Chains A and B, each alone.
Chain A
Amino acid sequence: MDEEPEIAKRWEGGYERTWEVLKEDESGSLKATVEDILFQSKRKRVIESHGQVRLGMMRHLFVVVDTSRTMDDHDLKPNRLTSTLKLLEFFVDEYFDQNPISQIGIITTQNKRAQKLTDLSGNPKKHITALKKAVDTTCIGEPSLYNSINLAMQTLKHMPGHTSREILIVLSSLTTCDPANINELVKTLQGLKIRVSVIGLSAEVRVCTVLTRDTGGSYNVILDECHFRELLMLHVKPPPASTSSECSLIRMGFPQHIIATMSEQDAKPSFSMAHLDSTGGPGLGFGGYYCPQCRAKYTELPVECKVCGLTLVSAPHLARSFHHLFPLDAFQESPLEELTGERFCQACQGQLKDQSVFTCPVCRTVFCVECDLFIHDTLHCCPSCIHNQGMS
């Protein structure tokens, strides 16, 4: 047995006196404690900035969803499967928002087998329609970790070396039915540099602990639906790239959007290459994006050209990932009483009423809690630093 870190289990610790958290003040009201708890919940997310660590920007992620018998359980409302699929729809949206040039594929496993729900692709709509349809599947049998990882590996091993290869497993069952030794599979995964992470819905399972530890992923078990959502969101950010991933120059095309109308002389209607496989409608249209290499037409970007294999993106897609490369520093928290000057948030023009205020370390501007959260989650740039940048 190899050395494992000693992690204390929850039942081994002492009693948690949860009633001591609530403290009354002189008049017997709990108002201060409640405000404190609300404030802490807003600030719960620890902003860990990786600093100068190389990130894996182009990600190929397979999501394995367990659709076995245990997913019919009612502890997540209305049942685990519906809740998981709904959260996964949200995850797919957020994922493509933060990683526009990456791809996702979905695999389901039940009845000791695994099958692909959707293939690896960069189009979020396809995945969301497939997830919506999957709500009706009946949950039978046992999942198979080996088969699902094997299926994912078949596709991932052909992916180029500079991308980050990941598998995210949502496992609700406590058992797995494998046709071969899973430790051999772990060694193969290590050789192919595939990172496997697991989100457990029931309890901690040792094979998952070993699997995630050896491949460099993370393993968490959910407490409730909110926690499940938070754990999923942790996987949206690009992970630090492994030291052995190759860096290369990827050839990409930047097509122009041609808006043509019937009245122009040269305008001819044409089919979009993306719609050739789908059965809905003729797909004839005038405008679109033309691949610079082979002139095939597509209606949406980003897409991989089916004719010549060139990845087609537009400049804003790459710009979306820039905030991962240049993250905004966390603001310094200080109590409201120490603030000299006006109690005024510079960004939203509101009065500062919370316990703490946040100061940008670069331009020393003061912000309130809501603006701080908004700036770090969505905006990714400090409104006052922009002006100082232009002054140099």
Chain B
Amino acid sequence: MASEEEVSLLVIVLDVNPIWWGQQAQREPEFTLSKCLDAVMVMANSHLIMTRTNKLAIIASTCQESHFLFPSKHWEDATATSGDGKYELLSVANDLIAEEIKALIGRTEVKGNQTDTLLAGGLAKALCYIHRISKQLDAGQDMKSRILVIKAAEDCALQYMNFMNVIFAAQKQSVLIDACVLDSESGLLQQACDITGGLYLKVPQKVALTQYLLWVFLPDSDQRSQLVLPPPVHVDYRAACFCHRNLIEIGYVCSVCLSIFCNFSPICTTCETAFKIQLPHMVKAKKKKVKPVT
């Protein structure tokens, strides 16, 4: 039983790449964005009613922006009425989320056919929000926070460095990053979960998303040790060389800019420093003393 002083904050980062979801609606009509949102809302409601002091935030992330669905700017204006006797917080939250996502999808311009997502932006905003809430706690209150990422489309290769910065920042703030992957495996998220201590799960059947969310991702980190959860995934930490993008086991690292190469080359292509080549020591031949023949 969590005490009154412990606050548990869950931030859900949802990937709403419109192109992927549009294609998904054509591939599998029984699992569309609205079904996914229903599952997320069930998970969010369950988290809020577990303990009175639990907090929640939901961020939707597209290629162009990441937008807070909950709590949003209109939070204070919303009137707390509920038609069916539901706990007002939950009904207001659900309505807000539905409105915000409709507005977001409506104003997102679909340019090109980018089928990848920039999750690093959503994660960065989540960390800033967590940082702000942790400063606003009353004295004597602890806060445990975690981020749940629901990823749909593939990784975008441009965000590697920003993503790693976000992961290290999360590790420093002791924030767990959990990942629920709908379609293609993501090496970046596997690394994130491994480094911060969260859980990575590729959902085998998308229609059962609610079950996976409630079973695996609802319990917080203290309770996870008591449950039987999916085993940790093998993470490939090998580096990719800068010249061929192959994964290498032994490589050469430039001491100035830390770029990785698979073969020795006299000039670093990234920072253009010339390297000293280590020559073997020249051993001078010793002159043998001729012994006088007696």
**Residues of A near any B CB (own CB < 8 A):** 54, 57-58, 97, 162-163, 241, 246-257, 259, 292-293, 310, 314-316, 318-323, 325-326, 342, 344, 346-350, 370-371, 374-375, 378-384, 386-387, 389-391
The CA-CA distance from A319 to B188 in the complex, in Å, is: 13
Q: Is the CB of B63 within 8 A of A391?
A: yes
Distance to closest chain B CB from A319 (angstroms): 4
In the complex, chain B residues 223-261 whose Cβ is within 8 Å of any chain A Cβ? 232, 234-240, 248-258, 260-261
- By beta carbon, the residue of chain A nearest B127 is A379
Supply 19 A–B pairs (Cβ within 8 Å), ascending by A.
Answer: A247-B273, A248-B278, A253-B250, A253-B251, A254-B248, A315-B237, A315-B238, A319-B161, A320-B168, A348-B128, A349-B73, A349-B129, A370-B132, A370-B135, A383-B125, A383-B128, A386-B162, A389-B158, A389-B159
Output the nearest chain A residue to B273 by Cβ-Cβ distance: A247
Residues of A within 8 A of B273 (CB): 247
**Contact, CB under 8 Å: B118 / A247:** no
Query: Which residues in B have some Cβ–Cβ distance to A below 8 Å?
Result: 63-66, 68, 71-73, 111, 114, 118, 120-121, 124-125, 127-129, 131-132, 135, 156, 158-162, 164-169, 172-173, 191, 195, 232, 234-240, 248-258, 260-261, 264-265, 268, 273-276, 278
Min C-beta distance of A107 to chain B, whole Å: 26
* Pairwise interchain contact B128-A257, C-beta atoms closer than 8 A: no
Complex Cα distance, B238 from A250, in Å, reads 16
A contact residues around B65 at 8 Å (CB): 384, 387
- Do A348 and B162 form a contact, CB below 8 Å, given A378-B173, A380-B169? no
Closest chain-A Cβ to B104's Cβ sits at a distance in Å of 14
* Residue numbers in B under 8 Å from A251 (CB-CB): 250-253
Tell me, rounded to whole Å, the shortest Cβ–Cβ distance linking A351 to chain B: 10
The one of B63, B160, B258 in contact with A57, judged by C-beta atoms closer than 8 angstroms, is B258
Q: B249: which A residues are within 8 A, CB to CB?
A: 253-256, 292
Which of A247, A380, A390 lies in contact with B256, CB distance below 8 A?
A247
Given known A-B contacts A58-B255, A254-B248, A316 and B195 have beta carbons under 8 A apart: yes
**Smallest CB–CB gap between A376 and chain B, Å?**
11
Could you say which residues of chain A place their CB within 8 Å of the CB of B124? Answer: 347, 379, 381-383, 386
A278 to B264, CA, bound (A): 37
Within the complex, the shortest CB–CB distance from B264 to chain A, in Å, comes to 6
**Interface contact B169-A391, CB-CB below 8 Å:** no
Asked if B66 contacts A391 (CB within 8 A), the reply is no
Contacting B131 at CB < 8 Å: which of A97, A246, A371, A390? Answer: A371
B interface secondary structure, majority: mixed
Q: Are A259 and B232 in contact (CB under 8 A)?
A: yes
> How far apart are the CA atoms of A387 and B156 in the complex, in Å?
11
On whether A350 and B132 interact (CB within 8 A), knowing A315-B238, A316-B164, the answer reads yes
Residues of A with C-beta under 8 A to B173: 378
Please give me the residue from chain B that is nearest to A326 by CB atom.
B161
Nearest first, the 4 closest Cβ-Cβ pairs linking A and B are A347-B128, A383-B124, A348-B132, A292-B249
User: Given A249-B275, A383-B121, is A254 in contact with B261 using a C-beta cutoff of 8 Å?
Assistant: no
Q: Is the CB of B128 within 8 A of A371?
A: yes
Q: A256 to B260: give the CA distance in the assembly, Å.
A: 17
- B251 partner residues in chain A, CB cutoff 8 A: 251-254
Q: How far is the CA of A257 from the CA of B236 in the complex (A)?
A: 7
**A318 near B258 (CB under 8 angstroms)?**
yes
